[in-house]
Chains A and B, each alone.
Chain A
Amino acid sequence: MMTARARPAVYGLMAEFDDPTSLINATHGAYRAGYRCMDAYSPYPIEELHEALGSHHTRLPLVVLIGGLCGCLGGYALQYWASVVAYPVNIGGKPLHSWPAFIPVTFECTILVAALSCVLGMLALNGLPQPYHPVFNVPRFALASRNRFFLCIESRDPKFDVEATRHFLETLDPREVTAVAD
């Protein structure tokens, strides 16, 4: 539903580059010019790009650690409860709480829950699955998964101004600058 407030006509302005170095230089340039709400798109991971955008470390490792600990404690608790409380069976006089025998399953549960939280956490933090995103409105953006590099300055940036930002992006020597429809 459209709200009464007028939405900006464009999601942002997108500049297309031929190679990774131009994209990184352009991103540095945009950051220096004071732009913060922007994103860069590349067909493969480029470490420097994330830093050039001025963003911080991801919380994903913490998510995985918590997931792993939950799996570890949960797996052990499951075995303790099943073997000692719910279904105590005396086998060869072994103690009911025979902890060394519980290690393999505890280990597997740790890995399982950590791996699941790793993948689901990565997707959740990235906001995926995402059926619609404005950048796909740009026809040439299909090349972002092949051999082209894009920098998109978003209209929600306080410094954004359709004319001024377009002019700024053109100084970065892109192949072309396109307005991204919202």
Chain B
Amino acid sequence: MEDPHRAVSGGTPVIAPGHTFGTVTDKISSIVLARRTPLWWYAGFGVTMLLTGLLLVSLTNLVFTGIGIWGNNVPVGWAFDITNFVWWIGIGHAGTLISAILLLLKQTWRTSINRFAEAMTLFAVASAGIFPLFHTGRPWLAYWLLPYPNTMDVWPQFRSPLVWDVFAVSTYATVSLLFWFVGLIPDLATLRDRSQSRVGRVIYGMLAMGWRGSAHHWHRYDTAYLLLAGLATPLVVSVHTVVSFDFAVSIVPGWHTTIFPPYFVAGAIYSGFAMVLTLAIPIRAVYKLEDFITMRHLQNMAKVMLVTGLIVAYGYLTEAFIAWYSADRYEGFVPLNRMFGPYAPAYWSLILCNVVIPQALWFKRVRTSVPALFVISLIVNVGMWLERFVIIVLSLHRDYLPSSWGNYSATFWDYSTFVGTIGLFLSLLFLFLRFLPMISIFEMRTMLPEAKVDE
């Protein structure tokens, strides 16, 4: 990090003035080490656990009855499940972007938000994984996707993008977990040293693995962290690229296009930053973290959303243009069916949510208004979900032969599974906020003016 000590630059500071090593440490660790859990935490966790219960009920019903409880049926074999999978995986991308790419680009403002964005990535990938796993119908046989010597003497089909997807998503989950855990080690040592309770000391102590802040250790640690960032950067681009291959490698009209990989990656970052804003705004308010997650962070994230949103809008235009320019009647039908077919409301809502409303972010008054940012981030989350729905369902329901066209409608269990994964995601987030430091304490120390070494 080039000059992290210039904490006040570009107007709004990254950390409010007046903080020291001690106050930063105490402020962030006290949230975790406080003996009394706030009442609203119990309330929030209770509600999200109820939704997680709904997920368990839905999945149990699915396993006992079969995937017929979902609305998927020929010709729409992929619907809510894959829509939700792509949506969740996309949300995860902002975490890796913030922690890895912005680290390599020396964007020091990332420091206040990288930890919980990484946690968000992990929980989003966990929620995403549920959908393809249960869409197999027999999740207890999901290990068949992995290459291992078996008595059936069969191996996965490595020419299939679905197998690439298994490798990409599982690698992504593993590397995100490693990155997050490595980042946590020094902070776990801080919690170990500051915990008043024996249980806390033992648990944080085991997790910190005897970290003592030795200069030799820090040197290898920094090297490892940079290398991991360098590895995670191409990885994050590859993951949504491979997810888009699930579609682009097929020959379904509307899916078989080369714009998909970059357009999916941009969309992933777009939705991910929207989710980071959706979470950061209430968290900074309830935990009084405005000193650390300042307006500067919110504005920067709004700018990233604006840019990626424009890339996504360009993707929509290119899709429609190429469909027309290809002179292929099946391809040409896709945008017309999107705009004027039975699902036209979904398409136009998507354009409204992802293209029209976010243009408000051009105005500084909007970017500096916390409520406006919160509302826009929610709208973008909805828009990105609709985008995946439009891509997946609308291409499948009317492809080549009008005799095999059909419509899709979601059932109660489609909705309950989706809402259930939101519950799971938020429950995990509540646990994270209570038991682990949501802001990287040691990286915040490096940002303080007193961290500057005078030669």
Partner of A58, one of B155, B167, B182, B220: B220
Q: Which residues of B contact A61 (CB under 8 A)?
A: 223, 227
When chains A and B are docked, how far (Å) is the Cα of A14 from the Cα of B157? Answer: 60
The reply on B374 being an interface residue by CB < 8 A is no
The answer to whether B453 and A20 touch across the interface, beta carbons within 8 angstroms, is yes
The reply on B30 being an interface residue by CB < 8 A is no
Please judge, given known A-B contacts A19-B450, A126-B220, A147-B25, whether A108 and B213 are in contact too, CB under 8 Å.
no
Q: Which residues of B contact A132 (CB under 8 A)?
A: 210
The reply on B156 being an interface residue by CB < 8 A is yes
The answer to whether B158 and A40 touch across the interface, beta carbons within 8 angstroms, is no
Please judge, given known A-B contacts A41-B213, A145-B213, whether A108 and B167 are in contact too, CB under 8 Å.
yes
The reply on A34 being an interface residue by CB < 8 A is no
Would you list which residues of chain B between 184 and 233 have a CB under 8 Å from chain A?
Answer: 186, 189-190, 192-194, 209-224, 227-228, 231-232
When chains A and B are docked, how far (Å) is the Cα of A131 from the Cα of B206? Answer: 8
Which chain B residue has the least Cβ–Cβ distance from A102?
B158
Please judge, given known A-B contacts A42-B213, A49-B215, A144-B212, whether A107 and B238 are in contact too, CB under 8 Å.
yes
The answer to whether B231 and A122 touch across the interface, beta carbons within 8 angstroms, is no
Main secondary structure of the interface of A (DSSP, over half): helix
Please judge, given known A-B contacts A104-B168, A111-B235, whether A144 and B453 are in contact too, CB under 8 Å.
no
Q: Which residues of A contact B181 (CB under 8 A)?
A: 119
Main secondary structure of the interface of B (DSSP, over half): helix
| B145-157 vs A, Cβ < 8 Å mask (1 yes, 0 no) | 0010000011111
Please judge, given known A-B contacts A146-B190, A147-B20, whether A122 and B209 are in contact too, CB under 8 Å.
no
The reply on B234 being an interface residue by CB < 8 A is yes
The answer to whether A45 and B222 touch across the interface, beta carbons within 8 angstroms, is yes
Chain B CB within 10 Å, residue with most, of A44, A58, A121 = A44
The reply on B22 being an interface residue by CB < 8 A is yes
Partner of B442, one of A43, A49, A116: A43
The answer to whether B227 and A60 touch across the interface, beta carbons within 8 angstroms, is yes
Please judge, given known A-B contacts A19-B450, A45-B222, A91-B159, whether A126 and B216 are in contact too, CB under 8 Å.
yes
Q: Which residues of B contact A144 (CB under 8 A)?
A: 193, 212-213
The reply on A53 being an interface residue by CB < 8 A is yes
Q: Which residues of B contact A123 (CB under 8 A)?
A: 209
Which chain A residue has the least Cβ–Cβ distance from B159?
A101
The answer to whether B215 and A42 touch across the interface, beta carbons within 8 angstroms, is yes
The reply on A64 being an interface residue by CB < 8 A is yes
The answer to whether B217 and A126 touch across the interface, beta carbons within 8 angstroms, is yes
The reply on B174 being an interface residue by CB < 8 A is yes
Would you list which residues of chain B between 340 and 363 have a CB under 8 Å from chain A?
Answer: none
| B421-455 vs A, Cβ < 8 Å mask (1 yes, 0 no) | 00000000000000000000011011000111110
For A, the interface residue count at a CB cutoff of 8 angstroms equals: 68
The answer to whether B158 and A41 touch across the interface, beta carbons within 8 angstroms, is no
Q: Which residues of B contact A21 (CB under 8 A)?
A: 453-454
Q: Which residues of B contact A89 (CB under 8 A)?
A: 157
Would you list which residues of chain A between 42 and 56 have a CB under 8 Å from chain B?
Answer: 42-50, 52-53, 55
When chains A and B are docked, how far (Å) is the Cα of A48 from the Cα of B220? Answer: 14
B159: shortest Cβ distance to chain A, in Å? 4
Interface positions of A (Cβ within 8 A of B): 19-21, 24, 39-50, 52-53, 55, 58, 60-61, 64, 68, 78-79, 82-83, 86-87, 89, 91, 94, 98, 101-102, 104-105, 107-109, 111-112, 114-116, 118-119, 121-123, 125-126, 128-133, 135-136, 141-147
Chain A to chain B: the 5 pairs with minimum beta-carbon distance, closest first: A147-B21, A129-B209, A130-B210, A122-B224, A82-B155
A105-B163, A142-B194 are known; give 20 further A-B pairs, CB within 8 A.
A20-B450, A40-B214, A44-B186, A52-B215, A61-B227, A86-B153, A87-B154, A91-B159, A104-B161, A104-B238, A105-B167, A109-B167, A114-B231, A118-B227, A122-B182, A129-B210, A130-B209, A143-B193, A144-B213, A145-B194
Interface positions of B (Cβ within 8 A of A): 20-22, 25, 147, 153-159, 161, 163-164, 167-168, 171, 174-175, 178-179, 181-182, 186, 189-190, 192-194, 209-224, 227-228, 231-232, 234-235, 238, 242, 245, 442-443, 445-446, 450-454
